[in-house]
Structure 1
């Protein structure tokens, strides 16, 4: 069985630098240049045109990181829900312009939620209802557009909460994402299970993985091998799935892509 092909999350400058590496194996690519309010509220057409020129000949799986700064998709304020819905629409507009088929969004579950969602009988249901109010229209639009929204763990402690939330939409256009560094932070600092447990819990709803290393204290986005994540266990858990999630290196310093790939190749985990 061939090793999984690893992709990367890149801004425009990163894509310019790593374009040949992406195109050599049509690696999964997540564009991270279209998620800020300033970009979304401005004219991003030139950026899209430049990106499409860079990707001439690319036939891999293309996605973007959607908007997330300044809001949660679980907000209870009806006026803020309208803002969230508009941001989701703007992200999907970018997907349509680029031909992207995936958009990363952020989980609403916080550390506080883990300890307090069962403090009142309606808390869990209310949070699910709030998320439906925020992104329900976007999920329907994504279905029509051929885009999958993938919900990434942020502070999540119990991975089954996010899975239940995604399943409540009963839509092929909403699936799960795992950020390995976020999961490892939650494992080391807030009592969450280890990263491979997050993968197993997601099961075949897993459609996207941010690969980054950390020490379990903070969101480091280090090159793979620099932290303490047990990568063989993570890749065994991924290999056990029928799903084929996009495997995306999301590193703070893009110079870490090369040593991360050397590490994975030497460990026999990826190519």
Structure 2
């Protein structure tokens, strides 16, 4: 089965934050049992990607992905929103995300996770969809030849488009670029609809995952097993679409605060032998 053949455990770590050392984050990733990493840089500081690449390699780990700029977590843009219909905001957002692509290429990763936009009125759906399509096309052009996939993440309710994976999948299919894909945030899916159906909607476009748990109402980023997500159902959906990529935890803050919150046995049955 797909889960035995290729599914490894990953985790997000932060990088460039003054109170959180890279060594401590890598120590925690190793304790979790992660083999691959998603990096959340402190984008305003643009921390050295080459230093990161070497430190990760020295631990025998691999950089899989980075979380691109979003909202106020930007480099030069006042705010990053690819769906914005305000030209200045849109252009500044795309410029910052180009910088993220370049940074990730230096760090040696392969997937840049991006948000489709911020909270918005449903009446703006079509206009924001057009803006998002334009932004993704520009980023695909910029990523061409780098080996990087720009993977759009599904969001909680209120992001138009972006809260339903079917809308994002339709857009990425229309753009038809090898440099574009999708990231499935299982906990966002649990709030917007359900994890399994949103995964099936992503289909073969799925390039990465964000894995955490919640009660179906609040985006609380609990470790798996501390909410109400049906994990066997979700992994069955991953099998159905043939996804063999990493299972990337996005709950390191909670684990950092209290390691006893992390229950290895929740995901272990669904991972390849090296990640159990």
TMscore range, shorter length? 0.7 to 0.9
CA shift, 1:223, in A, is 0.9
Residue 89 of structure 2 is aligned to residue 87 of structure 1: no
The match for 2:136 is 135
The match for 1:163 is 169
8 A contact 1:88–1:135 mirrored in 2: no
User: Distance between the aligned counterparts of 1:134 and 1:86, measured in 2?
Assistant: 10
Q: Deviations over 1:158-180 (max 9, x none)?
A: 32111111112210111111111
Q: Deviations over 1:126-146 (max 9, x none)?
A: 333211333322111212211
Partner of 2:270, secondary structure, is coil
Residue 13 of structure 2 is aligned to residue 5 of structure 1: no
Aligned residues: 246
The match for 1:190 is none
- Aligned pairs for 1:106-255 within 5 A: 106-108=115-117, 110=119, 112-113=121-122, 116=123, 124=126, 126-155=127-156, 156-186=162-192, 193-251=193-251, 252-255=253-256
Partner of 2:263, secondary structure, is helix
Partner of 1:73, secondary structure, is coil
8 A contact 1:107–1:151 mirrored in 2: yes
The match for 1:96 is 105
Stretches (4+) displaced over 4 A: none
Pick closer, same or farther for the CA change 1:202–1:167 going to 2, 3 Å.
same
User: Distance between the aligned counterparts of 2:91 and 2:164, measured in 1?
Assistant: 28
Please, which runs of 5 or more residues in structure 1 have no aligned partner?
118-122, 187-192
Pick closer, same or farther for the CA change 1:167–1:144 going to 2, 3 Å.
same
Q: Identify the structure with bigger relative contact order (alpha carbons < 8 Å, sequence gap 6+).
A: 2
User: Distance between the aligned counterparts of 1:91 and 1:109, measured in 2?
Assistant: 18
Pick closer, same or farther for the CA change 1:167–1:109 going to 2, 3 Å.
farther
CA shift, 1:111, in A, is 6.8
8 A contact 1:104–1:151 mirrored in 2: yes
User: Distance between the aligned counterparts of 2:270 and 2:136, measured in 1?
Assistant: 35
Partner of 2:88, secondary structure, is helix
What is the alpha-carbon root mean square deviation over aligned residues?
Answer: 2.4
Residue 80 of structure 2 is aligned to residue 78 of structure 1: no
